Chain A
Amino acid sequence: MLINRIFSGNDAVFGLTQQAVEGAVSQYGADKAVGFPHTAYCLPCYYSVTGVKIKTLGDMKEALGVIRTLMTREHALDDALMSGVATALCAEFIEALKYLDGAQPYEEPCYGHLADSIIRELGVPLVTGDIPGVAVILGSAPTAKEGVDLIKSYQAQGILVTLVGGIIDQAAELGLKMGYNVRIVPLGRDVTSVIHVVSVALRAALIFGNVTPSDTASLITYTSDRVPAFVNAFKPIDDVILAAGAGAIKLGFPVISNENENIVEVPGALIACSDTADFNKVSLEARNIKIKITNIDIPVAFASAFEGEIIRRKDMQVEFDGSRIDCAELVHTKPMDEVEDHKITVIGPDVDTFEIGSKHSLAYVVEVAGKKMQPDFEPVIERKFHNYINCIEGVYHTGQRDMLRIRIGKEAFNAGFRAKHFGEVLYAQVKNEFEAVVDKCQVTIYTDPAECTRIRHKMAVPTFEKRDARLETLTDESVDVYYSCILCQAFSPSHVCVVTPERLGLCGAVSWLDAKATNELDPAGPCQVITKERVINEDLGSYEDVDEAVLKYSQGALEHVTLYSIMQDPMTSCGCFECICGIEPFSNGVVIANREYAGMTPLGMTFPEMASMTGGGVQTPGFMGHGKHFIGSKKFMKAEGGIERIVWMPKELKETVAERLNKTAEELYGIPNFTDMIGDETVAVDPETLVAFLTEHAHPALSMEPMM
């Protein structure tokens, strides 16, 4: 039905165009010049699509035959959309005829055709996102006020608004200031004048996209990907408008309409929306336009300069303390339709009802939705809350999860800081910094004690447990890709970290989830995907994919890296490793020293000495830098037998990692309390004493295969 309507609309427009062109030819002759002023692209739409410049009425008449070939009548969506393009080209002809003989068919406030220079000027803010989108509003709104409200809602977001048809007079009626300088451009009252904004989009593709005219595939890719335009068409939608809309859809511009009769929705392309008040939201979502938040609406300053501010008891208005009563902070991913962007709700009494210096419960849940959002990013976002809240002038935050503590200072309170302002800050920062994954965000702040208890125990704690469990079960085998990390190449030019779930970056700061999030948020950044499809040796953890990646990211300095061996092509180290392990030949095992340990090790080398020969992105078989967390991993030097090889660690480090290490040893080898068998500086700092100790404790490394 929809397709037939498009065909009929197209036929009608084509008929009109044919008549008009023929009429003009008979009146002025075929050699009569035709074209728009101030453009080098002749009839820009026709030229973009076909590569042919129309200069005379005769050219135009000939071109009608070409347009005809686009008007196929198979009952298929693509035929319908191509008919939409044909409709647009016809409209361009009709509009061009208005400009014959240097006529000025448009007068205030209408613009009609837009010059090339405007496109060059417009191109830059469109690319930078300063103009986040282009709205095409067509027809008459149900009431003038509704129409103007819609225009203003886009204007407030910096979106360029073009107007076609009755909406222009409606806007004028309410005295709306219009013009290019205020980003509201009325094009014309005829529906064909919509072609002037299409012309802008297509010329942008030629000018900015270097698209070759007639390369329609690239043209459409460009307009779909780079021109953030969309159409708002008010009812009634007749067949002609529908046909023109099909042209817009073909270029990648969704059409949103309040028409509900004789129309079928096409997901993502033709969208019904009965209330014009929702046009803005629906349009932005359909076109995936994100509005940058430049101003956080709070009564105190927000800057990193306040990050280190401490609110002391005497300066404190009120305190929330998770160590005493129920508090929580949480990011929660929800489906798109369950999140209302920028909705901030406070449940419970506000701060001004609290006594000065009193202690209360507080929980805030930031609900996010996005096409690219994944629950794995929740903790990455959540970890930033500490920083966000601390940057508020006069507010102080420590801790995390359900162990947070927040103080609001008297000055901030007197300046008007209230509970909802937490929501404003969290909303703005999450939207800005996680733009790549968060499309919508709403914040609920709970101050009601019972609600806080519920959120903490029914929602937050189970989520944290689930996340921890996921981290536990996340293994190298269970994921499809690893990530590179080259954050520290400034210091270690040829070093590349390969980050896997069981082997975090050797600095201890970049987990596989962090790397994944970094990659999503900054696709050209330091963390890149490494596939793991072509395995060379499972035990060593060597892959052709990994080798190719390290070769590439080390600029050719490294050819082979294994993930699980310290003897064969061990991973390189930068300078920021938490620990170094090194082979101790007399006990047939390895010694680990951490950065904080200043003393001697049984290798006869201190941490700095080991570091000097291991760092800088150089492969040193037998020695390797790594994170503390890696010590308890099942993958720790798996190729050489795993953690059973650990014979010595500084006491402090041993205590830090004992729980995980013992658990892994028990699981892998059935050895209970494995750390008791491992030496430390109180036992030995030379190989002989160490071996004696290990012998006494029957350390398994002594009877393992020789490492070299």
Chain B
Amino acid sequence: MALNGIQIFKLTPKKNCKECGCPTCMAFSMKVAQGAMKIEQCPHMSEDAIASLSEATAPPMKTIKIGTGDGEFTLGGETVLFRHEKTFVSKTRYAVALCTCMDDAAVDAKIKEIPKVDYERIGERMYAELVYVNCSEDADAAKYTALVEKAAGIGRTLVLGCTDPEIAKAALAVCKDSKPVLNGANASNYEAMNAVAAEAGVVLGVSGKDINELYDTVAALEKLGNKNLVLDVTGADLKETFANAVLVRRAALKDQDRTFGYPSIVNTVKIAKGDVHMQAALASLFTMKYGSIIVMEQMTYAEALPLYGLRQNVFTDPQKPMKVEPGIYPLNGADENSLVVTTVDFALTYFVVSGELERSGVPLNLVINDAGGLSVLTSWAAGKFSGNSISKFIIENVEPKVKCRKLLIPGKVAVLKGDLEAKLPGWEIIVGPREAVQLVKFLKDMQA
């Protein structure tokens, strides 16, 4: 049972020394309870207190870091099974697969293809963060190492799929500084693989012929002192893989079974080889249910556009809605003479409204200012989408750039009309429809 802030506070020295970086012991305790800080960060905590607390406050699922620099990613650290219970913290990361079984032309094509998908969506860079390099059974160290080097060339963090300790060792020699994952430990080789991973200082991926073997192998590795693991839950088929992914996560979070408290790898290439549409379906399925790394044959725009959108949604904090950057967004080829439309910066509202506005085909300048990331009525009620805030933004940012002096406001805040007229002399304030779906017709009628 996790401790709450008050219980933790009782064990602190209560000195408010600020050495942990928090102004008070109370603030520190609350952060520890939230999992935002570790109990060890208090320099004055007694040994006994740390011992009793670290067990109680240790997260049920470990946070594992892979990669370096821009390519460093955090996996795991989840505390809930459903996002509404709190939030999911570590995004699923996607790996495009390369294999020694592919011919050179195919490998080259893939390597050329991967960097093409790289774009931004609501402040987040979207691209295949990882490359999975698979070593097929017939490959030797030279061939595998050559492929790994080639893959490393595009600068993505690698996941090495290799169960031969010697080959793995050779491959790690050329890439270990970039902190790849070595996915290859199993019941028969775990001791050797553990030594290879430990020597290279990389995260070790563990698999098993079934969930019980996986469990036993993890337990054995933990006994050897390795708690820097990810679990490859891929089974013989989809059904087994899905069961593994759910059971592993549920055992860790619901039943507090720490042996399964690690991030997961799901390899869709193994269970849906050659079927890119099925892999797309599975990427979505395992983004929803507990895949930390998902391996796919390709990540073109067709996969990326829906998948990254889905991930962005699923991993958003339910308490903090996604926000769009304030600014003027010209739509449908708008220029300085085009009508000005405004709404809030809540990402969902923005998407729905901008979608409808685009559908109308009417050139418009969509103006977004900081409304606290709330919906129209909520931000209005909170005073964040008010005559003051809108007029200030318009005067400072829009008037210098846009000549049109007509402003369309959401119908739900018709009440702002008079206030805006007073605060924006020279502007005509038009009250729009209450719902975004009515925009197309409204704009058409306005044009007529």
Report which A residues bind B (CB closer than 8 A): 304-310, 390, 396, 491-494, 557, 567, 575-576, 582-586, 600, 602-605, 609, 612-613, 615-616, 618, 620-623, 686-688, 708
Name the CB-closest residue of B to A611.
Answer: B319
Contact B23 A616 (CB under 8 A): no
Q: Mark B1-17, 1 if CB is under 8 A from A, else 0.
A: 00011100110001010
Contact B4 A622 (CB under 8 A): yes
Contact B414 A304 (CB under 8 A): yes
Name the CB-closest residue of A to B30.
Answer: A613
- B422 touches A (CB below 8 Å): yes
A-B pair number, CB within 8 angstroms: 97
Chain B residues with Cβ below 8 Å from A309 are 417-418
CA distance A492 to B319 in the complex (A): 7
Chain B residues with Cβ below 8 Å from A567 are 6
Contact A305 B86 (CB under 8 A): no
Chain B residues with Cβ below 8 Å from A585 are 9, 14, 25-26
> Assuming A304-B411, A309-B417, is B30 touching A686 (CB within 8 A)?
no
29 sampled A-B residue pairs with Cβ under 8 A: A304-B434, A305-B431, A307-B414, A307-B415, A307-B417, A308-B418, A308-B419, A309-B417, A492-B319, A494-B85, A582-B26, A583-B26, A585-B9, A585-B25, A586-B16, A600-B23, A603-B26, A604-B22, A604-B24, A604-B27, A604-B28, A605-B26, A613-B30, A613-B33, A620-B5, A621-B6, A686-B23, A687-B16, A688-B16
Contact B431 A621 (CB under 8 A): no
> Assuming A308-B413, A310-B418, A493-B318, is B10 touching A708 (CB within 8 A)?
yes
Q: Which of B25, B318, B413 has the most CB of A within 10 A?
A: B318
Report which B residues bind A (CB closer than 8 A): 4-6, 9-10, 14, 16, 22-28, 30, 33-34, 84-86, 318-319, 382, 411, 413-422, 431, 434
Name the CB-closest residue of B to A616.
Answer: B319
Given contacts A396-B418, A493-B84, 19 further A-B contacts (CB under 8 A): A306-B414, A308-B418, A310-B417, A310-B422, A582-B26, A584-B26, A586-B14, A603-B27, A604-B26, A605-B27, A609-B27, A612-B319, A613-B34, A621-B6, A622-B4, A686-B24, A687-B16, A708-B9, A708-B10
Chain A residues with Cβ below 8 Å from B434 are 304
Chain B residues with Cβ below 8 Å from A396 are 418
CA distance A613 to B37 in the complex (A): 13
Could you tell me the distance in whole angstroms from the C-beta of B427 to the nearest C-beta in chain A? Answer: 14
Chain B at the A interface: SS class? helix
Contact A308 B22 (CB under 8 A): no
Chain A at the B interface: SS class? loop
Chain A residues with Cβ below 8 Å from B25 are 585
> Assuming A491-B318, A687-B24, is B5 touching A308 (CB within 8 A)?
no
Chain B residues with Cβ below 8 Å from A494 are 84-85
Could you tell me the distance in whole angstroms from the C-beta of A553 to the nearest C-beta in chain B? Answer: 15
CA distance A430 to B311 in the complex (A): 47
Name the CB-closest residue of B to A489.
Answer: B84
Could you tell me the distance in whole angstroms from the C-beta of A583 to the nearest C-beta in chain B? Answer: 7
Chain B residues with Cβ below 8 Å from A622 are 4-6
CA distance A584 to B10 in the complex (A): 12
Chain B residues with Cβ below 8 Å from A390 are 415
> Assuming A600-B23, A603-B26, A609-B27, is B318 touching A616 (CB within 8 A)?
yes
Q: Which of B23, B382, B416 has the most CB of A within 10 A?
A: B23
Contact B24 A616 (CB under 8 A): no
CA distance A576 to B377 in the complex (A): 13
Name the CB-closest residue of A to B9.
Answer: A585
Could you tell me the distance in whole angstroms from the C-beta of B200 to the nearest C-beta in chain A? Answer: 38
